[in-house]
Structure formats: structure tokens, C-alpha cells
């Protein structure tokens, strides 16, 4: 009979801290009725739901796409400006 590998001890989940804008924090805190435990559960639920729907490419775009996205929007604005000038 094959033996299972030894499981490492310690917590099952990794602890992560994140910075939120004050406005977003106050909205989420209001939904959680000021309870920090409910707030953490709410944020965890939102993240899990978004991660289940997202593809790896979409998640990578969050890391690398911010500068590319800004360039694309700037180019789109330039094209629109040129079109309005021509008309």
C-alpha cells in the first residue's frame, strides 16, 4: 500500500493584506455593518467569485496590461480627435 506524503503543518490559508480606497472601504464596511469578520468574509467572497470567472490571461493583464491599456486608450482618443477634425 502506498504511503501518503506528510502534510506540512500550519495554517491552511495564506494571510494577505490589501489597501483599499477609503470610499470603497466605507461602502464595504457599511454592508458588513461594521463587523470586521463579516467584512473579511465579504471581501473573500467577492475575490473568489471574480477569480472563478476570470481566465489566466485576464489575470495576467492586471499585472502587465495597465501600461498597455493606457497606451491603447490614448491612441483611441487621438484617432477620435483626428476623425472629428476631418469632419
Q: What is the pLDDT of residue 44?
A: 94
Taking alpha carbons only, the member of 30, 73, 69 closest to residue 81 is 73
Looking at residue 34, its pLDDT comes to 94
- Whether residue 31 lies inside any domain: the answer is yes
Binned at pLDDT 50, 70 and 90, residue 9 comes out as: confident
Flag whether 36 is in a domain. Answer: yes
Considering its fold, how many domains does the chain have in total? Answer: 1
Task: Return d(Cα 1, Cα 26) in angstroms, integer.
Answer: 55
Of 19, 20, 42, residue with least CA distance to 32: 42
Closest CA to 68 of 76, 43, 13, 4: 76
| Residue 42 resides in a domain | yes
Residue 14 lies in a domain: no
- What is the tens place of the pLDDT at every residue in 31-81? 999 999 999 999 999 999 999 999 998 889 888 876 666 666 667 777 676
Q: Residue 28 sits in which domain range? A: 22-86
> Alpha-carbon Rg of the chain, whole angstroms?
22
- What grid cell was written down for 50? 471574480
Q: What is the pLDDT of residue 48?
A: 94
Q: Is residue 82 part of a domain?
A: yes
**pTM listed for this prediction:** 0.58
- Is 41 within the bounds of a domain? yes
Does 4 reside within a domain?
A: no
Residue 39 lies in a domain: yes
Amino acid at each position: 500500500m502506498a504511503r501518503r506524503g506528510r502534510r506540512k503543518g500550519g495554517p491552511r490559508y495564506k494571510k494577505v493584506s490589501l489597501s483599499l480606497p477609503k470610499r470603497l472601504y466605507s461602502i464595504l464596511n457599511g454592508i458588513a455593518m461594521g463587523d470586521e469578520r463579516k467584512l473579511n468574509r465579504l471581501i473573500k467572497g467577492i475575490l473568489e467569485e471574480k477569480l472563478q470567472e476570470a481566465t489566466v490571461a485576464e489575470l495576467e493583464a492586471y499585472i502587465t496590461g495597465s501600461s498597455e491599456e493606457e497606451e491603447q486608450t490614448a491612441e483611441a482618443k487621438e484617432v477620435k480627435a483626428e476623425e472629428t477634425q476631418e469632419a
